[in-house]
Amino acid sequence: MNPLAGELNSILDQTVAGRLLSEFGRSLYFPKGIVAQTAEANKRAHRFNATVGMAYEDGEPIMLSGIKSIVTGLSPTETVAYAPTPGVPELRATWKREMVRKNPSLEGVPTTEPMVTSGLTNGLLQVAEMFVDEGDAVVLPEMFWGNYRLVFELRRRAQLITFPLYDEQGRFNVAGLAKALQGHRKAVVLLNFPNNPTGYTPTKTEAAQITAALSAHADAGNDLLVAFDDAYFGLFYDDSLMEESLFVPCSTAHKRLMAVKIDGATKEDFAWGFRIGFVTFAGLGLKPVHLAALERKLMGSIRATVSNSSRVAQSMLLKGLESESYAQEKAERRAMLKSRFTKVREIVESVDTSPLVPLPFNSGYFMSFDCSGVNAEDLRLALLDKGIGTISIQERYLRVAYSTVDERDLEELYAEIVKEARRLAS
């Protein structure tokens, strides 16, 4: 093992973070190579900086005119230069401030500085590689984003342990989560709210119950990494919902529980193609020296995979976050999506949708039907023949992304879905 990895492990070994690390995670370190030496030179080489593999002219990176002509308001450095491995410092600091603003209870809670990844998917992979060994338990609701299988099951060969998302009352299945955790001395819990594919977020009461169930499992002497895929964070449409990320209460819940927030600009800031995500760690009892060690390990993992994320996307996102109209525009777009949500809820509550049963939804981009008596894949294909695209899941559920459909067209969309379902069921 590299001595740098050994140093980081010695810092973490007496913490939940150290116990949770995968074999690969224990081997991770950030080398004192080109990137580290270049960072030192950027601060101290005031005469000539002959370190990084870039081409400069008159003190600025060279940028072709075809690119320069379409990028306004950004310097060559902000456009084509490499970004630091953990991300542009100003963007990381701004994202942290925004995270605290959106989650006021996070004020004063020690966390790592958000580190930039190439989208949320890359953030999930970085976390998986750091903490998941072959055969490890990854506990999650049975309604989950299909890419989790590729990240955790295929690439890390984890054991996915699922439980029904809803209980008999249509609420989050806290008892199912607790039962799925039983017998696992080390586990990763993966929660995604608002949930893809159902568009469900726990209420404030349910959120407190989830945190209590996780803490109870940790209190029994088990180590937990609770990962929050907050891709759709902020898109909450009901006053009863937990509008702070569950990352916040879990950050201080128990010394045997570490929390990680994986979020980004993808959905929150309507910048899907930017591929800018963030990873932030926290945990009760983790001191600044422990958090810094986690940052170094994550930096090593990023360096070994994508090296660094898109500089121009980070620069554009930073400009957007600093824009005077940022808050107002986001509120307007959120209101538009909430209006579509309200319309869809009115439709499914006022119209007989049988044989389709709408699953509870209250947030995000989606809602899903339980296709009772109809094969969801058959229904998806039938709708395609009508020029309508939807997603089938497990041949039982049909996901509808109402976020992509103008409000004026929603009644027609749902009428066609129900019509085709009834035709197939007859």
The predicted-structure confidence for 146-163, as pLDDT tens digits, reads as follows: 999 999 999 999 999 999
Token representation of residue 275: 């591929």
Token representation of residue 307: 């090296």
* Residue where one domain finishes, among candidates 300, 322, 344: 322
pLDDT digits (tens, 9 = 90+) for 160-186: 999 999 999 999 999 999 999 999 999
Is the pLDDT score of 124 beyond 90? Answer: yes
- The Cα–Cα gap between 282 and 290 comes to 10
300 and 356 assigned to the same domain: no
H/E element, 372: none
Instruction: Compute the mean pLDDT over every residue in the chain, rounded to the nearest whole number.
Output: 95
Is the pLDDT score of 192 beyond 80? Answer: yes
Cβ–Cβ < 8 Å for 49, 32:
no
129 and 211 assigned to the same domain: yes
289 and 356 assigned to the same domain: no
Q: In this structure, what is the dihedral angle of CA atoms 251, 26, 9, 94, given to the nearest 10 degrees?
A: -40
Q: Which residues, 6 or more positions from 270, have their beta carbon under 8 angstroms from its beta carbon?
A: 333
Domain-embedded: residue 152: yes
The total number of structural domains that make up the chain: 2
Quickly state the pLDDT bin for 227 (edges 50, 70, 90): very high
260 and 365 assigned to the same domain: no
Q: Which domain holds residue 201?
A: 3-30+85-322
372 and 261 assigned to the same domain: no
Q: Which residues, 6 or more positions from 39, have their beta carbon under 8 angstroms from its beta carbon?
A: 84
